Structure 1
Amino acid sequence: MTVSARTEDYIVTDRGGIVENRHAVHAAVVDSSGKLLYYVGNPARMTLARSTAKPAQALAILETGAAERFKFDEADVALLCASHSSEDRHIARSRSMLARVPGLQESDLRCGGHPAISEEVNRAWIRSGFTPTGICNNCSAKHVGMLAGAAVLGAPFVGYERPDHPVQVRVKRVTEDLAGLGPGGGDHIAWGVDGCNLPAPAMPLKDLARTFAGFAQAADDAATDDEGKAAPVGSGSGGAEVPIKEERTRRMARIFHAMSDHPEMVGGEGRFCTLFMQAYGGGLIGKLGADGCYGVGIRASQQARRISGGGGSEGQALGLAVKIEDGSIDILYVAIMEVLEQLGIGDPDIWGKLSHFQHLERKNTMNVVTGQVTPVFEVHPVDAAI
């Protein structure tokens, strides 16, 4: 099903009532089958996922067996998915994960250091004269995880960041599977190089949303499994092998729960990803990507059933992907919360906890409010566009 992209969906910023900027908004809401339900702007916009791809990359790491081999716990798995703030807890856990992989050294990381996302951490680093190295990178745990995966596969550490390395070949295959896309013809996945030096996928926004719906659906499916099927993946021997599809569902569910149970590892103090997942209390996961990209996986609920029109008492899980055309991150958070409120995902208490992200105030250096940030879009049902 195709829809006509809307060119008038914006978030407007003004100063004294004078329009200063119009930030074009694109969003896609899909069910777990990938069916497009609602949209803003162009739901098929080819979009570099950047760090929004980390849950998919984490799944590729888990499917090597690295988490079992090196005893990565749930907080470690959450950190695999993180764009963390380089707080002490993030760096310490990344170092711990690295130390569990025989022969792995920080010098093997091909991500490099950079100023922390957290201004508080940056100020502390400056006061102490500290120079951040690769283990401080906001993507450090993902890099450690990929090197751990290389160790399990018997692949070299050198070149793990290259597209033809066995780890990246697996990441590519998993990313295509989750999005329901192949390497050629029609909708497809293209690849660039991310800020942390790893391959970064680009895909239509609606297919990025499908990826996140898949993680939420896996959490629901795993929760309904019989108790006898709930043994950890890769645990022990003796007895029939767990079917591949079931293994993937459990690993995806593990990633969902790791992120929702340890949101402090995914972002950090005061960060949107962390506060967002805390506010929704396990009902969803969310992941930021650089330059204004975001993915949300929403578990099935009565609210989701109303949106999807799905059968049964709860309906299907949902996925939401959002892109701000000019890459603005603060405008991105406004858009996410506006879409969810328009769809009725959440309640006034939840939205209230996150209102400072949705209802921005523009202030000058004297703390005087100088303008407004106003969404001027509506979330459109697909049927209305046919």
Structure 2
Amino acid sequence: MTAAPAHEPLVHILREGMTESVHFGSVVVLRPDGSVLFEAGDPGVPCYPRSAMKPVQATAMSGLRLDLDPDLMALASASHSSEEIHLDGVRRILDGAGLSEVDLRTPEDFPFDPVERDAWVAAGRKPSRIGHNCSGKHAAMLAVSRAHGWPLEDYLDPEHPLQREIRRTVEALSGETVAKVATDGCGAPLFSVSLCGLTTAIGRVATGDGPERLVAQGIRKHPEMIAGTRRDVTALMRAVPGLIAKDGFEAVQVAAMPDGTAIGIKIADGSDRARLPVLLAALELSGVDVPPLADANARVVGRLKGNS
């Protein structure tokens, strides 16, 4: 077992002025030139990026000539809420490739969004592959594989041509060699890099003029597709012009401004409630006006070490 990262306290949860809980983690903000504006914790050690890597995966597929409308390119980068706009979008991707829901290799699941999940249960709907929050990414993976004549049955194998190309793109955009290959919750290969590497990659997605551009444009134009109408990631992108942002399970978060200023966050205990307060504080320290989206009782107290 590898040593645990040297995370630092980032968020205090207060009750009537007294600290009740503390969340540790790591955060890094990179300037447009890639230098460190500030950091806390241990952002240089490998971590699992989880779904925060999806815009990078979509960039790899864009480079493989994935031809999608902007809203569907955002959906290829999404952890969606399974609202009807998302399910319809997944079907559009599959239909365009001559495929159907049965070709998906996502686990059968209920919607990620609690409101949608409750509605499914009330209507007697069962978990499904398209209901999984990663079905947009999987549909795009299938579409690329179909376009290139690659096998469909094993598109999640790390040695599949698609996954090898995704790994190459992860390494190119992060500037790092993948430290470990694991399996994400949706069954896709999970390529581990450091939080700094992940943040470098999302900054390059935000500013690139190659395959990255189509991904960033889709996310900016359709923030509702990358998350959902009740999700904080969508609300934040709507409130901050030009921002692209992506969250992931176990409280990973990335965000980048159009100039390439980029933020990466990992909360040590995986608590999602600490993710947004740290993101808003990092944006504010980067000079970005941010809306009051976070819990007022969550105070960001981590030491941020500025580099001149």
Question: Do structure 1's residue 216 and structure 2's residue 203 form an aligned pair?
Answer: no
Matches within 5 A, 1:11-50: 11-50=11-50
The aligned amino acid for 1:334 is: P
The SS at the match of 1:66 is coil
Write out per-residue CA displacement over residues 212-237 of structure 1, whole angstroms, 9 at most, x where no aligned residue. Answer: 1102222xxxxxxxxxxxxxxxxxxx
State the Cα distance separating 1:381 from its structure 2 match: 0.8
The SS at the match of 1:10 is strand
Counterparts of 1:134 and 1:215 in 2: how far apart (Å)? 28
Contact 1:160/1:168 (<8 A) preserved: yes
- The match for 1:112 is 107
Write out per-residue CA displacement over residues 73-123 of structure 1, whole angstroms, 9 at most, x where no aligned residue. Answer: 000101001101000110011011111112x23222111222212111111
State the Cα distance separating 1:65 from its structure 2 match: 1.6
Matches within 5 A, 1:284-303: 284-300=243-259
Counterparts of 2:280 and 2:22 in 1: how far apart (Å)? 18
Question: Do structure 1's residue 57 and structure 2's residue 89 form an aligned pair?
Answer: no
Counterparts of 1:215 and 1:8 in 2: how far apart (Å)? 28
The SS at the match of 1:299 is coil
Counterparts of 1:17 and 1:330 in 2: how far apart (Å)? 18
State the Cα distance separating 1:33 from its structure 2 match: 4.3
Which residue among 230, 234, 246 is the counterpart of 1:270? 230
Contact 1:64/1:149 (<8 A) preserved: yes
**Gapped regions of structure 2 (runs ≥ 5):** none
- The match for 2:267 is 324
Matches within 5 A, 1:142-221: 142-182=137-177, 188-218=178-208
The aligned amino acid for 2:221 is: D
Shift in alpha-carbon separation, 1:8–1:136, aligned structure 2, 3 A: closer
Question: Do structure 1's residue 89 and structure 2's residue 49 form an aligned pair?
Answer: no
Contact 2:8/2:26 (<8 A) preserved: no
State the Cα distance separating 1:319 from its structure 2 match: 1.4
State the Cα distance separating 1:17 from its structure 2 match: 4.9
Counterparts of 1:289 and 1:140 in 2: how far apart (Å)? 15
The aligned amino acid for 1:176 is: E
Contact 1:38/1:379 (<8 A) preserved: yes
- The match for 1:239 is none
Counterparts of 2:181 and 2:93 in 1: how far apart (Å)? 28
Write out per-residue CA displacement over residues 241-260 of structure 1, whole angstroms, 9 at most, x where no aligned residue. Answer: xxxxxxxx332111111101
Percent sequence identity over aligned pairs:
29
Counterparts of 1:318 and 1:155 in 2: how far apart (Å)? 37
State the Cα distance separating 1:202 from its structure 2 match: 1.5
- The match for 2:304 is 379
Write out per-residue CA displacement over residues 251-271 of structure 1, whole angstroms, 9 at most, x where no aligned residue. Answer: 211111110110010111121
Contact 2:62/2:215 (<8 A) preserved: no
Counterparts of 1:8 and 1:133 in 2: how far apart (Å)? 39
The aligned amino acid for 1:263 is: P
- The match for 2:70 is 74
- Aligned-pair RMSD on alpha carbons? 1.7
Contact 2:51/2:247 (<8 A) preserved: yes
Counterparts of 1:325 and 1:8 in 2: how far apart (Å)? 9
- Give TM-score, length-normalised by structure 1: 0.75
The SS at the match of 2:265 is strand
Counterparts of 2:293 and 2:7 in 1: how far apart (Å)? 27
Contact 1:66/1:145 (<8 A) preserved: yes
- Give TM-score, length-normalised by structure 2: 0.93
